Amino acid sequence: MIAVAAEAPLLDARGLSKTFGIVEVLKDIDLSVRAGEVHAIIGENGAGKSTLMKILAGNHLPTRGEIRMDGQPVAFASPVDAEARGIVLVHQEILLAPDLSVAQNIYLGRELGRGLTVNDRAMNEGAAKAIADLGADIDPKTVVSRLSIAQRQLVQIARVLLVPHRIVIFDEPTASLTPHETEALLKVIKQIRAKGVGILYISHRLPEVKEIADRVTVLRDGRLVASHAAAELQPADMARLMVGRDVAKLYPDRHAARARETVLDVEALDVPGYAQNASFRLCKGEILGFAGLIGAGRTELMEGLVGLRPAHGTVRLNGSPAHFSDVHGSLKAGVAYLSEDRKGKGLLLTKDLRVNLTLASLGKFTSGLQIDRAKEAQALDQAIKDFDIRTGTKTILAGQLSGGNQQKLLLAKMMLLDPQVVIIDEPTRGIDIGNKEQIYKFIAALAEEGRSIIVVSSEMPELIGICDRILVMRSGRIVGEVTGEHMNENEIVGLATGVTAGEAA
């Protein structure tokens, strides 16, 4: 566990920098990994963690800087090169073929053969052993689609570890796991470490970093801001280093919400399979947060509310009953939902900004039969100004905008409908700090105008920073509400996980 100081690191990176276009996403990062240690890389979304890992795993070439292994400079043109050197990456997303068995997935692309046929028996035995090595018990013949998320995660790890490896990179492996499953996974990682493997562990869940890491490196806005032995840092220190600025400055000043009339009243809403018996009220000019772990049913609850999923229950808008069977209905009633999946569900990436901006509100731009393109162009100019969308030319495609500008465009698109209730799902996912700050300002301004806002987010600091109240969901149910001085991470984590604050820390 304690690294021998004299021992040369397995991997030593110096001055790594990466530029995409004109945006410098990584600058002068030094990083080393020794055998038998867990080196955690922490930072907010957009800090550059993923880019750094992709460089080390051979997905990207660094713009500057060098990587040495065993003292020799190396360059990885592809993940295959990195694997040949013993560096393997466990992806955050589950990349398995759901219709194949566990063993077939583990050996996918490197099947064991026997003459012309595959050797299923050998592969099943190998897979069983690989899984047993991780301290788990899964029948290798089970079809993957029947496994839980945590089990799939383990199969994915087993698949990766089949490659002879010296360094394993885990990219936010616990993002979709329950606390219990996380505990089990951390045990697995400790076992891997005990075999003398070097581990890079990316996360922004600080308590688990504190538990597992030997060293911690903090990235912020693409720069390395600190690198310490884990023993020297408490989670609170890590948080301060990650955010790095006066947190109060990142979030806009909010006037305390006065008691105002209820705009949206949801009673016992069921979204079959995802959310049960959800009841809440939203007031005029209020920002209401929805916190919870990934998979708690927050997104699905909102999708059910606006008619994107089947849902039953009572919804009252301004006192009169409302039921939305599709988004057309909810938009017409003045309830807009901005999806967390901007690229997949929010914008047409291959179309230009004008088409995207007016897509949901074309009725306002149609005179007679014809779309008024001059009016559309005018609206685009206005949106670019109002929402500070940074774009070189207006004929750029939506897919060419940065994440932050895409989010601003999506916000502008929905605001053309002048909605009374705005539901924003993960408003700042994949967005850099500067744009984040602006988006928080926009959200606060919308509330100030008298609109009612729901923010669904997995970033607790952001919810605490901008919301008036926060509802916490767990396993499809709203399990509590935090307001005022109770709006802190401990209270929220406690409710979200069902474990009391003392145990979780």
Interface ranges with another protein (CB under 8 A): 308, 326-328, 330-332, 337, 339, 341, 344-351, 354-355, 359-360, 362-363, 366, 369-371, 373-374, 377, 381, 391-395, 413
Give the count of alpha carbons within 13 A of 9, CB side only: 17
Q: Cβ of residue 149: shortest distance to another protein, in angstroms? A: 22
Residue among 126 and 334 whose Cβ is closer to another protein: 334
Residue among 175 and 389 whose Cβ is closer to another protein: 389
Q: Cβ of residue 78: shortest distance to another protein, in angstroms? A: 19
Q: Which of 333, 316, 322, 340 is nearest to 421 (CA)?
A: 333
Radius of gyration of the chain measured on its C-alpha atoms: 24
Residue among 316 and 375 whose Cβ is closer to another protein: 375
Q: Cβ of residue 393: shortest distance to another protein, in angstroms? A: 5
CB 288 within 8 A of CB 280: yes
The C-alpha atoms of residue 195 and residue 483 are separated, in whole angstroms, by: 47
Q: Cβ of residue 315: shortest distance to another protein, in angstroms? A: 17
Q: State the greatest distance between any 2 C-alpha atoms of the chain, in Å, as a whole number.
A: 79
Residue among 262 and 400 whose Cβ is closer to another protein: 400
Element (DSSP H or E) covering residue 482:
strand 477-483
* Amino acid (one-letter) located at 199: I
The C-alpha atoms of residue 353 and residue 348 are separated, in whole angstroms, by: 9
Q: Cβ of residue 491: shortest distance to another protein, in angstroms? A: 33
Q: Cβ of residue 173: shortest distance to another protein, in angstroms? A: 28
Residue among 148 and 378 whose Cβ is closer to another protein: 378
Residue among 76 and 365 whose Cβ is closer to another protein: 365
Residue among 30 and 326 whose Cβ is closer to another protein: 326
Segments of 34-80 assigned E as strands: 38-42, 64-69, 72-74
* Amino acid (one-letter) located at 168: V
Q: Cβ of residue 362: shortest distance to another protein, in angstroms? A: 4
CB 501 within 8 A of CB 493: yes
The C-alpha atoms of residue 10 and residue 165 are separated, in whole angstroms, by: 11
Q: Which two tokens stand for residue 451?
A: 């609109």
Q: Which two tokens stand for residue 140?
A: 């290798």
